[in-house]
Amino acid sequence: GAVVSQHPSRVICKSGTSVKIECRSLDFQATTMFWYRQFPKQSLMLMATSNEGSKATYEQGVEKDKFLINHASLTLSTLTVTSAHPEDSSFYICSAGEADRPSYEQYFGPGTRLTVT
Amino acid sequence: DAKTTQPNSMESNEEEPVHLPCNHSTISGTDYIHWYRQLPSQGPEYVIHGLTSNVNNRMASLAIAEDRKSSTLILHRATLRDAAVYYCILRPPIIQGAQKLVFGQGTRLTINP
């Protein structure tokens, strides 16, 4: 199946700093990518839908100025957590579907574990 | 989004079949039933999906009730690597590209050696 990568896999940052997480589709083009957040022992929560060449669509309750999403190409979407705080510590996961056909299967990245100290 | 209900946890033994149930009584006529699983500290991975007929692939089988208000994911011979959280998700038909997935709490499957 198709592969989605994330970088970094793990990051520790200090409170107040910003962190950028990359999501890449390695062998296919993705018009749309999704960003999820997962706290320990909980399910995945959709944060936003990232559309190539346009603004992201955020789910209710997700601060768009805090979680900046850029989808500059068909293979790369980035999530920047601005002015991170300890409560932003979580497992961030991206997913993507293929651009050129109806995609019944969504491909997930391995996740990025963010720890804010 | 139509809701699914799954048991919080299940336990089985290695090399035995596992039947993971999912109730979706409010499913619409065009919703597909998707299953994903998430191994520890990893992103979810696609398992199987279906609409009305039972489906088989190399990973699992999906049995769908005739009224489509429930379904069962079947792992024919569980291994330790099948220990994961299994999510049953309803998804409208896709016209083009990708569509968001709404995850419920899923079923945490434990496999005993």
As a whole-number percent, the residues of chain B with pLDDT over 90 amount to 83
Q: Cβ contact (<8 Å) for A104 and B49?
A: yes
Q: Please give the pLDDT value at position B93.
A: 77
Please indicate if any CB of chain B lies within 8 Å of the CB of A1.
yes
**Chain centre distance of CA A18:** 15
Q: Mean pLDDT throughout B12-34?
A: 95
pLDDT digits (tens, 9 = 90+) for A70-106: 988 989 999 999 999 999 999 999 999 776 665 577 8
Q: Is the confidence at residue B95, as pLDDT, over 70?
A: no
Q: Mean pLDDT throughout B78-94?
A: 93
Q: Please give the pLDDT value at position B99.
A: 77
A34 vs B46, B96, B100: nearest CB: B100
Q: Is the confidence at residue B19, as pLDDT, over 80?
A: yes
Instruction: Judge contact between B69 and B97, C-beta under 8 A.
Output: no
Mutate to test the interface with A, among B31, B101, B107 (most CBs of A within 10 A): B101
Q: Mean pLDDT throughout B39-51?
A: 94
What CA–CA distance (Å, rounded) separates B50 from A82?
Answer: 40
- For residue A80, count other CB atoms closer than 10 A to its CB: 14
Cα distance from A14 to chain B (closest Cα, Å)? Answer: 23
Q: Cβ contact (<8 Å) for A34 and B106?
A: no
As a whole-number percent, the residues of chain B with pLDDT over 70 amount to 95
Cα distance from B14 to chain A (closest Cα, Å)? Answer: 24
Q: Please give the pLDDT value at position B52.
A: 94
Residue A79 pairs in a beta bridge with A21, A69
Residue A44: band (very low, low, confident or very high) from pLDDT cuts 50, 70, 90 = very high
Here the tokens at position B83 are: 């220990």
Cα distance from B38 to chain A (closest Cα, Å)? Answer: 10
Cα distance from B15 to chain A (closest Cα, Å)? Answer: 26
B103 vs A1, A43, A107: nearest CB: A43
DSSP state of B93: P
Q: Mean pLDDT throughout A36-52?
A: 94
Q: Mean pLDDT throughout B81-109?
A: 88
Please indicate if any CB of chain A lies within 8 Å of the CB of B50.
no
Residue B1: band (very low, low, confident or very high) from pLDDT cuts 50, 70, 90 = low
Please indicate if any CB of chain A lies within 8 Å of the CB of B103.
yes
Q: Please give the pLDDT value at position B5.
A: 96
Q: What are the backbone angles phi and psi of residue A49, rounded to the nearest 5°?
A: -110, 125
Q: What is the mean pLDDT of chain A?
A: 92
